[in-house]
Amino acid sequence: QRTQTLRSSAGPTWAQTLIFQHLLLYENPQDTKESPPLVVLELWQRDSWGKESLWGRSMWPPVVWLDLQDRILPPMRWHPLMKELGK
């Protein structure tokens, strides 16, 4: 999925929730809830000439609901960005 594109911002802040409706996983649903695969977020920047470069990447486990009736959206959280592995 993609978030909004923020233009002309040296220090952008996103406050968006991405909901994956029909995600097909090949394992026991309870195992997925207890140990979900990581979500990887990549941030790209485009300079005034149109060249794109990776600005940073963040990874974290998502919240998984097996019963949508019990779904409560989690609060917004900060996630650190890494430009390179370990940095």
In what helix (H) or strand (E) does residue 42 lie, and over which residues does it extend? strand 39-46
pLDDT (tens digit, 9 = 90+) per residue, 62-74? 888 888 788 887 8
Please give the chain's pLDDT, 87 residues, in tens: 777 776 666 666 667 777 777 778 788 989 999 999 898 888 888 777 888 888 889 898 888 888 878 888 788 788 888 887 655
For the chain, what are the domain ranges?
29-66+78-82
Pair 41, 58: CB distance under 8 Å: yes
pTM of the full structure: 0.63
CB 24 within 8 A of CB 32: no
